[in-house]
Amino acid sequence: MADAAGRGVWVSQYRSAGNNTAGVPSLMFVDNEGNVTFNSGRSPYIDMLNGSDRAGFAVNDAADMLVVNDGSGILQFYDLTWDGTTPDIAPKYSYKADACNSAGSIFQMAFDYAGNLVCAGGNIGIYSLPTDENVHTTPACGEGSTIKVPAAVNETRVDKIIVGERYYDIRGIEYSHPVKGVNIIVRTYSDGSTQSIKVIK
C-alpha cells in the first residue's frame, strides 16, 4: 500500500501467531530508494505484533494510526509517527472485531473518508474509533462544510409521541397486529398528525 505522503510503500504478508520474524516479517515499510526502514520482525516491534492474520492492515489518511489484524484475530491499533521516511509504532489499543471469519481472519481493512475503520473477513464491519473529545467530524462535500456528530447522546427531545398504530395489508384490510407479508402501518402522533409506512414482515 502506497504511503499517502509519498514516502514509500507498506508491505504486509500473512504470518500466523508467533511467526513475525526479521527474515519474514508481518509488516515492512520500504522507502522510495528501496530501503527497508521498518521491519516488524525486529526489536522492539517483534514483541508488539503477534503475526498478521491474512495480512489485513490499514493506515489512516493522516498517516498517524496503523491497525493490523494480528495472528490471534485481534485488531491491534498503533500510534504511527515518522522520522523522515522511517515509521515508528507505539501500541494504542486492541479490539476483537466481529467482522472476522470463523478462523478469526480479516482479509482487508481501510479507513473511510470519515475516519471509521472498515473491515472485511467473514462479515463486513464498520467501526467508529474513540477520540479524546468523543466527537466525530465528517468532512462534507463543498468548501469548508462539516457535519459534526456527537459520539454519545447527552440530551433527548421528543416533539412527537406515537399514540396509536393501525395495521393494514396491501388490500386495505385492517388487523390488530402486523401480519406476514407487506403491512401498511398508519401511526397517529400526539399532535394529531399521521404517518403511513410500509413494512415487510
Model pLDDT for residues 75-117, shown as the tens digit of each residue? 889 999 999 999 999 999 888 877 777 776 777 888 887 788 8
CB 70 within 8 A of CB 45: no
CB 200 within 8 A of CB 183: yes
Q: For the residues of 132-188, what is the DSSP string, one character each?
A: SSSEEEEE-SSSS-EEEEESS------S--EEEEEEEETT--EESS--SSEEEEEEE
CB 144 within 8 A of CB 164: no
pLDDT of the residue at 187: 87
**How confident is residue 141, by pLDDT bands cut at 50, 70 and 90?**
low
CA dist 141 → 61, 82, 114, 138 (Å): 17, 30, 12, 10
pLDDT of the residue at 148: 57
CA distance 78 to 95: 12
Give the pTM. Answer: 0.65
Task: Give the number of C-alpha atoms closer than 13 A to the C-alpha of residue 15, restricted to the C-beta side.
Answer: 24
| Model confidence pLDDT, tens digit, residues 108-136 | 888 887 788 888 888 888 888 877 776 66
Is 191 strand, coil or helix?
coil
| Model confidence pLDDT, tens digit, residues 14-63 | 888 888 889 999 899 999 999 999 999 999 988 888 878 776 789 998 89
